[in-house]
């Protein structure tokens, strides 16, 4: 949520607040004459926030190069999309903004859709809505077990029939790019790398207090003072 780079503007703690921020960034890109696309991602739960529709209106009014991406994984925080949204075809909710619906469990389809969306907005066609229909296996967060509003059988059925990694694996095998054995070896090596990283993290000492203020700004943009930081023998609380 708090990672920023010259082309990535982090997340937002307020549900749906990143959507108008994305519209603002798209406005800045158009104002500066940069031929770029701005992708603002939000979930099916955030799609009902008022500021999302306000951002849609301004983006279409000013013909901004913005792609509004709804990640529809069927469930918000403990609630199915059908219980919270009167219209669950989120790609149709842009009024005058055209929309496309994409199989978010298909990696190739997702890649092609993003390429299409970028070209659409950089060609001067104005904003676009893009809905990825996907599915999350776990809960929304640590406080959400993910099993109180759906059955374990549903999760297992989706995992066994729609999993995007397994789907890509089948394509790779059918296309003759790699054998089943080679892919299993890659999977084994990846798991070993993760296990090694976990053990390294467990063995690492507690971070120092000063690390709270380390790498929180992009290099070269650090302000002279950061709230709460001891600096030049002056304490700020």
Q: How far apart are CA 19 and CA 100, in angstroms?
A: 18
- Of 111, 140, 227, 237, the catalytic one is 140
- Of 116, 118, 135, 136, the catalytic one is 136
Contact status, residue 61 vs residue 20, Cβ threshold 8 Å: no
140 is catalytic: yes
Q: At what angle do helices 164-174 and 107-122 cross, to 10 degrees?
A: 100
Q: Which two tokens stand for residue 49?
A: 């926030």
218 is catalytic: no
Q: Taking every pair of C-alpha atoms in the chain, what is the biggest distance, in angstroms?
A: 65
Closest among 17, 36, 16 to 26, alpha carbons compared = 36
Helix or strand holding residue 27 (H, E)? helix 18-32
What Å distances lie between residue 217 and 25, 174, 205, CA to CA? Answer: 18, 46, 24
- Of 90, 149, 157, 170, the catalytic one is 149
Closest among 27, 16, 17 to 60, alpha carbons compared = 27
227 is catalytic: no
Q: How far apart are CA 179 and CA 191, in angstroms?
A: 19
Contact status, residue 121 vs residue 115, Cβ threshold 8 Å: no
- Enumerate the active-site residues: 136, 140, 149
């Amino acid at each position: 949520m708090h990672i920023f780079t010259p082309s990535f503007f982090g997340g937002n703690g307020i549900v749906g607040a990143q959507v108008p921020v994305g519209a603002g960034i798209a406005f800045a890109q158009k104002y500066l004459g940069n031929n770029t696309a701005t992708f603002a991602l939000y979930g099916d739960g955030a799609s009902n926030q008022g500021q999302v529709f306000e951002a849609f209106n301004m983006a279409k009014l000013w013909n901004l190069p913005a792609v509004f991406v709804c990640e529809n994984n069927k469930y918000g925080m403990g609630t199915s999309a059908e219980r919270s949204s009167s219209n669950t075809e989120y790609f149709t909710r842009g009024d005058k903004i055209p929309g496309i619906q994409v199989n978010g469990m298909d990696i190739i389809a997702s890649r092609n859709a993003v390429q299409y969306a970028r070209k659409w907005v950089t060609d001067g066609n104005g904003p676009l809505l893009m809905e990825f229909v996907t599915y999350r296996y776990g809960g929304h967060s640590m406080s959400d077990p993910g099993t109180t509003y759906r059955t374990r059988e549903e999760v297992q059925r989706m995992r066994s029939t729609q999993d995007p990694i397994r789907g890509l694996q089948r394509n790779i095998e059918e296309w003759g790019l790699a054998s089943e054995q080679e892919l299993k070896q890659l999977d084994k090596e990846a798991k070993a790398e993760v296990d090694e990283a976990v053990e390294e993290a467990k063995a690492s000492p507690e971070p120092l207090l000063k690390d709270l203020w380390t790498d929180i700004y992009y290099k070269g943009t650090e302000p002279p003072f950061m709230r709460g930081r001891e600096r030049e023998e002056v304490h700020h609380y």
